[in-house]
Amino acid sequence: MADYTDYEKIEKSAKVRQTVRKTLIYIFLGIWALVVLFPFYWMILTSLKDYGEYANEIIPKFFVLKPAVENYTSGFTAVPLGIYLLNTLLFAVATTGIVVIVTIFSAFAFARLNFRGKDLLFTAFLSLMMIPNELVIITNYQTITNLGLRNTFTGLILPSVTSVFYIYLLKENFEQIPDSLYNAAKIDGTSDFKYLFKVLVPICRPTIVTIVILKVIECWNSYVWPRLITSNEAYYLVSNGIQEIRENGFGRQNDPAMMAAVVIISVPLIVLFLIFHKKIMEGVSRGGTKG
């Protein structure tokens, strides 16, 4: 390393290599972006194709000149997609609402209140996190059936309104708020209830938003439980609805109409995502697991 004479050359070749590397990275990322986006493109494209033309395509066209909008209207007339959407919305809002309330109360009890057996109970809660849904769903199915709650919203919602994971997440966050705030509130004569909703909840809003995001996505994708518990189309959610449409809906080969239905049920979450993508991605990485 005594002199720098060859470094000019080294620097130059390093620059070239750098440019090549960058280009390769962009190409790689671009290709995967295409792989991700293509199904969405294809779904929209197919949904706009006229059924008659589509059925006769040998090599599918990559564009449509005359979009067939009737595919979309038939999603609401030939099959009750509107009802499915409404059901899912109701299911998502109700479940998420109850989950948030239950979670806030429990997290507060674990984080701020003292009672005998608290540590033991919390450990018991945590160990429940290990239990997969598949294990308890069998009895829950029997329970709901025996209670005569099949094909009701109550039956749909009840088993999924408590999540130990969310309680854990929020409890951790509550505990980060310094004791002094709680003591100050006590001295001012604030009740626990008021402290919880006027101080803790606003401060921990990001975590609660995270919980809402995760739960809404989960509800929108929920398939197994609704399938078990509903046999009446009037209570189908979008996942069962789309499966029903596929198996008995427009006739097996009417792919354009089916894709229109897929677009319709995909749009709400995607629009939400495009608006709040920063928040949603942040929320998911803060505490999310899928599956």
Residues of span 258-287 touching another protein by CB under 8 A:
258-259, 262, 265-266, 269-270, 272-274, 277, 280-281, 284-285
Among 13, 19, 20, 26, binds another protein (CB under 8 A): 26
Q: Record the tokens describing residue 87, joined without a space.
A: 């059901």
φ, ψ of residue 231 in degrees (nearest 5): -125, -10
Q: How many residues bind another protein (CB under 8 A)?
A: 99
C-alpha distance from residue 135 to each of 58, 139, 241 (Å): 46, 8, 25
Footprint of another protein on 222-251 (CB under 8 A): 223-224, 227-228, 238-239, 242-243, 246-247
Render the burial of 135-147: b for 16+ CB within 10 Å, e for the rest: eeeeebbeebeee
Footprint of another protein on 112-151 (CB under 8 A): 113-116, 118, 121, 125, 128, 130-132, 134-143
Footprint of another protein on 61-100 (CB under 8 A): none
H helices present in the chain, as ranges: 7-47, 51-56, 70-77, 81-112, 118-128, 133-146, 153-157, 164-176, 179-187, 192-195, 201-203, 205-221, 224-229, 238-248, 255-287
Window of 41-49, 68-76, 176-184, 204-212 that interacts with another protein by CB under 8 A: 41-49
Q: Record the tokens describing residue 2, joined without a space.
A: 């005594």
Among 72, 84, 108, 174, binds another protein (CB under 8 A): 108
Q: Which is nearer to another protein, 48 or 242 (CB)?
A: 242
Q: Which is nearer to another protein, 208 or 238 (CB)?
A: 238
- Residue pair 80/74 in contact by the 8 Å Cβ criterion: no
Footprint of another protein on 170-209 (CB under 8 A): 192
In whole angstroms, the minimum distance from the beta carbon of 95 to another protein comes to: 12
Among 217, 235, 236, 250, binds another protein (CB under 8 A): 217
Q: Which is nearer to another protein, 68 or 262 (CB)?
A: 262
- Residue pair 239/226 in contact by the 8 Å Cβ criterion: yes
User: Is 106 among the residues that bind another protein (CB under 8 A)?
Assistant: yes
CA separation for the pair 157, 84 (Å, rounded): 15
